[in-house]
Amino acid sequence: MAGIDTESPVPKYYQLKEIIRDMIEKEELRAGQAIPSEREFCERYGISRMTARQAIMELVNEGLLYREQGRGTFVAEKKLQQEAARLTSFTQDMRDRGMRPSSRVLELEMEPAGPVVARMLGVDRGIRIVRLRRVRDADGEPMALETSHLLYEVAKDVLDVDLSKRSLYEELGKVGVRMSRAEQSYEAGLVNEAEAEHLGVPAGSPALLIERITFDQNDRPFEYVKSTYRADRYRVTTVLYPQ
Ligand code: GLP
């Protein structure tokens, strides 16, 4: 069994990550199986609780492990393609990370498309748009602020649904809207005054700004979204393959 080399310049938490990764690779730990507790790792490798916690936390963030509240930490299913570029909703994204999603609806308005939204969605200005602004929480803590601009034509059937409790994408799925792809960009930024209050962090805190245009099964862009994620809480991982 590989151990932790205390002489090595490689941080101990990183070594533990590699050990766990290896156990999964060799199927000593299988998908759905609980991993040893932090305490067991500490005893087995003579490391501190903090070291074990960091290793496990990073593997959860990378999607290799997932947590279930009150039950423990488990090995995730291998989802290679999905990890690479998965088109998920916030709800699913949080569930995959072992967290409980919820939302607070700040605005739900019908309005004519302005120049930016019209350009992003490839429609004429003035076309009817639904603007949905939500604080997105994970385990009851604010994670992101998200403003979606949806084609009214597509969103009209889900407007009666309580979007503070339900997933927009799941509801759209129920009325036959299938997502075929999305174009997404990430940018570093800062939380502004107006956002700070909703996100529960001081203005000027680091943020990850995410923009997405989502296409339906007919390759029609139906959603343009701008989100501000708390950079202290949220991290994106991507698997890269050689060409
Ligand atoms: C993510 C996407 C948004 C999308 C949202 C739907 O956050 N970036 O573009 O609108 O998910 O979330 P849900 O289905 O959880 O309501």
Q: What is the pLDDT of residues 103-155, one digit of tens each?
A: 999 999 999 999 999 999 999 999 999 999 999 999 999 999 999 999 999 99
Contacts of 4 (CB under 8 A, 6+ apart): 12, 15, 16, 19, 45, 46, 47
In the predicted model, is pLDDT for residue 77 greater than 80? Answer: no
Domains and CATH numbers, the chain: 12-78 (1.10.10.10), 83-230 (3.40.1410.10)
- Number of the ligand 1 atom closest to the C-alpha atom of 163: 16
- Candidate of 147, 148, 210 to mutate for ligand 1, largest count of ligand atoms within 8 Å of Cβ: 148
> Amino acid letter at 147?
T
Do the strands 128-138 and 101-112 form a parallel or antiparallel pair, or are they unpaired? antiparallel
Q: How far is the CA of 228 from the centre of ligand 1 (A)?
A: 12
| pLDDT(73) > 80 | yes
Amino acid occupying residue 185: S
Tell which one of 146, 151, 208 to mutate to probe ligand 1, the residue whose CB is within 8 A of the most ligand atoms.
Answer: 146
Dihedral Cα 177, 210, 102, 174, nearest 10 deg: 0
pLDDT for position 82: 37
The Cα-based distances of 75 to 2, 5, 21, 103, 221 in angstroms read 19, 25, 10, 27, 36
Percent of the chain with pLDDT over 70: 96
Residues in Cβ contact with 50 at an 8 Å cutoff, skipping those fewer than 6 apart: none
From the CB of 228, is ligand 1 less than 6 Å away?
no
pLDDT digits (tens, 9 = 90+) for 2-52: 789 989 888 899 999 999 999 998 999 999 999 999 999 999 999 999 999
Residue 4 CB less than 6 A away from ligand 1? no
Ligand 1: distance of its center to the CA of 214 in Å?
A: 10
Phi, psi of 11 (to 5 degrees): -55, 150
Residue 91 CA: nearest ligand 1 atom is: 15
**Ligand 1, closest atom to CA 182?**
9
| Selection from 138, 93, 147, 148 nearest residue 233 by Cα | 138
User: Could you tell me if the CB of 145 is within 6 A of ligand 1?
Assistant: no
Closest C-alpha among 156, 140, 145, 153 to residue 105: 145
| Residue nearest ligand 1's atom 5 by CA | 89
pLDDT for 1:
52
